[in-house]
Amino acid sequence: MPIKKYFGISAERLHHAYGIAGDVGIVAADLVEFFSKNLGVATIGNPDFFHETFEMLTIDDARRIQDIHASKAFSDASPRIFLIELYGITREAQNALLKIIEEPQAGNHFFLVMPSLDLLLPTLKSRLHVFKSVAGDRDGSTEPAAVADFLKKSLKDRIAFVDDLAATVSDGATVKHEVIDFLNQLESSIYSRNRTAENLADNVMVFEIIARARSYMNDRAPSVKMLLEYVALSV
């Protein structure tokens, strides 16, 4: 079953809330199959199956989820599932979700799927059963061409590249989650190129800078250009 890609999800002992990092679309598709085949949850036309994708999950979105959670489930025959695909989430939204994830109603289960667990505040992350899908692991797979090309560039050309990328975000041609995907791929490539303990230790600061840039992408109006330039100067 596809769900074997994930650690700890059991139909017999279902945790109340999960945070899963990986390729968002692939993970969500596998989860939908798991819900249907392993939990007996109807994933089409079922008011007790909430499934939405958010470029940026806001406080208004979180409050809507709170309202659904507070309402009575239509059926007690199967669990009520909240499958939330997100590429970004505001701090206010995380604090709102924290309230229901800390004390969920019986039979309600949350699955938050995202490109990286670095999107989450420690307070929310600590309440989730968190893991990466196999697809999201640093497994040394083929390096994306864009990342390989970026790492070959001179510092001047790297700055020009990220400035152009930031400009496409500003004019709407690129969405922020594509920038986060690029940062994830960059982090994975640097890790794969420096697998020895000594080399990884030398790159700890680089990993921290990438993680910080990825986290700040959640701000309401992040300076994408400044964040990416900081990364380009550091790798």
pLDDT (tens digit per residue) in 6-44: 555 777 778 899 999 888 888 899 899 999 988 889 999
Domain count for the chain: 2
Amino acid at 85: E
* Domain end position, chosen among 86, 107, 136: 136
Confidence of residue 200 (pLDDT cuts 50, 70, 90): low
Domain termination site, one of 78, 104, 136: 136
pLDDT for residue 140 is more than 70: no
pTM: 0.67
Same domain, 126 and 151: no
Domain ranges, residue 84 = 2-136
pLDDT for res 145: 84
